[in-house]
Amino acid sequence: MPALVIVIIISLAFYVFYKIKYVRSSRPAEKKWISAKSSIALGAFVFTFGINQLFLTHSPVTYLVAAVFILLGGINIWSGIKAYKFYLPHAIEEAEGNS
């Protein structure tokens, strides 16, 4: 599926982008907020990679590995969204305080 490959590449690019942004940031709350965004991107990468595996080969091992990837990606997305919502007000407050 070419569409899934495009989503995989874009989510991997966002993960790398946010990790670089994380390293360059000096504010603690902003670092945690950016880390949450990179966690969402990594979860999207793993999730779509697992879905893509379902279309490539059809064996029980592939289905098991794809299920693990989909589960781990979903958990990573979910925990990243929760962390994003938690750290967003802290990052805004920190940015306003340092302006």
- Domain count within the chain: 1
pLDDT value of position 42? 96
Tokens of 83: 């962390």
Average pLDDT, the chain: 93
15: how many CB neighbours lie within 10 A of its CB?
Answer: 20
67 is in which domain, residue-wise?
2-98
> Tens of pLDDT along 38-47?
999 999 999 9
pLDDT at 99 > cutoff 60: no
Is residue 22 within a helix (H) or strand (E), and if so which, with residue range? Answer: helix 2-24
Per-residue pLDDT tens digits for 40-81: 999 999 999 999 999 888 899 999 999 999 999 999 999 999
For residues 5 and 91, what is the distance between their CA atoms, to the nearest angstrom?
Answer: 33
What is the pLDDT, as a whole number, of residue 56? Answer: 87
Answer whether residue 14 shows pLDDT above 60. Answer: yes
Asked if the model's pLDDT at residue 1 lies above 90, the reply is no
